[in-house]
A and B are shown apart, each in its own frame.
Chain A
Amino acid sequence: MTSTEIQNEIIEDFSLFEEDMESKLFYLMDLGKKLPEMPLEHKTEEFIVKGCQSKVWLYPFKQDGKLFFEADSNTEITKGLVSLLVKILSGKTPSEIVETDLYFIEKIGMNHMIGSQRSNGFASMIKQMKMYAFALTQK
């Protein structure tokens, strides 16, 4: 699936909850639970995303010209957040990742849902993923 298709699917899923914030958060937490377990040896200081209140790890690896991500967090909602990014960006080419416009964030009312502090943390995750991708495009 293209990142656009995945984002549209996410938007549709979240729209089912309308304005029910609690259900949206529960759904996010469930998405987090579906993230494949991250190997312990990748959960090191080096792969902690700076600028997040909760702990978030993002481990990038390249395979067949594509960039993949493993991720985890010590809080369920944040894990749900990073799982959305993994779903959209993992397995794409570095240049695709750099260029992806993450319009789903506004469409699902993310900032309202998670508050401004977490929104900043979420932005840090995105920045980190795009930085990894950008570094690869420069090689």
Chain B
Amino acid sequence: MNEASLDIISIRNHFPILHQQVNGHPLVYFDNAATTQKPIEVIDALGDYYKLHNANIHRGAHALADRSTGFFEDTRKSVQQFINAKEAAECIFTKGVTESINLVAQTYGKAFLKPGDEVLISYMEHHSNIVPWQMICNEIGAQLKVIPIHENGELDMEAFYKLLSVQTKIVACVWASNALGTINPVKEIIDAAHKVGAIVLLDGAQAGSHLPIDVQQLDVDFLTLSGHKLYGPTGVGVLYGKRKLLDKMPPYQGGGEMIKEVSFESTTYNEIPFKFEAGTPNIGDVIAFKYALEFVSRIGKEAIIQWESKLLNHFNAGINEFGSNRIKLFGTAKEKVAVQSFLIEGKHPFDTGLLLDAKGIAVRTGHHCTQPLMNFFGIEGTVRASFAVYNTMEEVDVLLESLKKMLNRK
């Protein structure tokens, strides 16, 4: 499907939540970088699971367990296809990106980092791609180094190459920034990191719903995805890892499912992916997640990013037209996903957010879990509008009109 044939109205009809009034106005949902809404297919699949199929998976000697196991593993295959992994076993289900990153830091990091080694992250990381590395670096005595950024929100690649050395063991970098929208040159980063023998983890929380993903072409070592930011349920995340790395990593948590044999003296661990999926997983949500992936694949990432870019450009053009001297945009990189942070001169982001909410417009305000990035810009936070495939030009106009009204009031 190409962009020209994208029928946004029929796409919207898959999202029951969008058809409601908030504070007396039609809901305009522009908080998609925080979480996207869920298509009816996902909601139905979740309901159906509990109505018709609920059973604990793997090893059950009955029809429901067999069925649930099949559905659960079907999602794993869908994830494999969605990111073009070599095998489904390389796709591990987690609670979300935060858990995926912690898993790598606490297993790969703990096993292979040594004192004096360096972990490289960027200035625009979400706290979930900072704190886990800080924790493991402190524990091991490794160094956390930070790639600076330019004023427009692009990575300073010159600085990146200067920071990269044989001491660098892990590069953990966000693919698309949640606060700025910047799409980082991840292929270049991966290739450069591999040359010095470092492995690369990509935080794909925002990339998941916007960008085509091919882990084999990228040659990325670890990729993390968030289900709920990808039209799927909350509580589902993915950790993709290359088999050769996952195989040699110690387990993350001990418990059921992750074992081969247990005695009181010793335990042998299960194969991947099960080695990293201790305990009963989030079966229902994982099963429903498949329908989110199918929803995205059916529309196609190319069409999605084209439409979302149109929305973003329309918004930015509107700001330039009436507010460029009073509204400051944060994140003006050339390559961006449809996320725009901004501040109205003299107006606290909380106030802007509340005034927009009064018109039924949902945006996010605050530091977006990127406090170091906010410090870089010398601000406490921003107002962030983030667009999804079901948003319309008319909705962008509603936002622009509300902002215009705020400006005119002073």
Contact = CB atoms under 8 A, between A and B. Distances in A.
Note whether A and B form a binding pair. Answer: yes
Interface of A: 19-22, 24-26, 29, 53-54, 74-78, 114-115, 118
26 contacts: A20-B24, A21-B24, A21-B358, A21-B359, A22-B355, A22-B358, A22-B359, A24-B358, A25-B355, A25-B358, A26-B355, A26-B409, A29-B351, A54-B348, A74-B348, A75-B348, A75-B350, A75-B351, A76-B348, A77-B350, A77-B351, A77-B354, A77-B355, A115-B357, A118-B350, A118-B354
A115 to B, nearest CB: 7
A76 B409 CA distance: 13
B257 to A, nearest CB: 38
A19 B357 CA distance: 13
B127 interface: no
Nearest to B355: A25
A78 B347 CA distance: 12
A43 to B, nearest CB: 16
Contacts of A118: 350, 354
A20 to B, nearest CB: 8
Contacts of A77: 350-351, 354-355
Contact of A19 (B24, B347, B355): B24
B305 to A, nearest CB: 33
Contacts of A78: 350
Scoring B24, B347, B351, B409 by chain A CB atoms within 10 A of each residue's CB, the highest score goes to B351
B31 to A, nearest CB: 14
Contacts of A25: 354-355, 358
Contacts of B350: 53-54, 75, 77-78, 118
A72 to B, nearest CB: 13
Contacts of B24: 19-21
B400 to A, nearest CB: 15
Contacts of A54: 348, 350
A117 to B, nearest CB: 9
A67 B358 CA distance: 35
Contacts of B348: 54, 74-76
Contacts of A21: 23-24, 357-359
Interface in B312-364: 347-348, 350-351, 354-355, 357-359
The SS class assigned to the A binding surface is helix
Nearest to A21: B358
Contacts of A115: 354, 357
B24 to A, nearest CB: 6
Interface in B275-312: none
Nearest to B348: A75
Nearest to B23: A21
Contacts of B355: 22, 25-26, 77
A19 B359 CA distance: 11
Contact of A76 (B347, B358, B359): B347
B172 to A, nearest CB: 30
Contacts of A29: 351
Minimum-distance CB pairs A-B, first 4? A21-B358, A75-B348, A22-B358, A21-B23
Contacts of B354: 25, 77, 114-115, 118
A115 B24 CA distance: 16
Nearest to B402: A22
A76 B347 CA distance: 8
B351 A76 contact: yes
Contacts of A20: 24
Contacts of B23: 19, 21
Nearest to A23: B358
A26 B355 CA distance: 8
Contacts of B402: 22
Given A22-B358, A53-B350, A115-B354, 17 more contacts: A19-B23, A19-B24, A21-B23, A21-B358, A21-B359, A22-B402, A24-B358, A25-B358, A26-B409, A29-B351, A54-B348, A74-B348, A75-B350, A76-B347, A77-B350, A77-B351, A77-B355
A25 B358 CA distance: 8
Nearest to A112: B23
A75 B351 CA distance: 7
Nearest to B347: A76
Contacts of B359: 21-22
Nearest to A117: B350
Nearest to A29: B351
A114 B23 CA distance: 12
A129 B220 CA distance: 57
Contacts of B351: 29, 75-77
Interface in B127-155: none
A135 to B, nearest CB: 30
Contacts of A22: 355, 358-359, 402
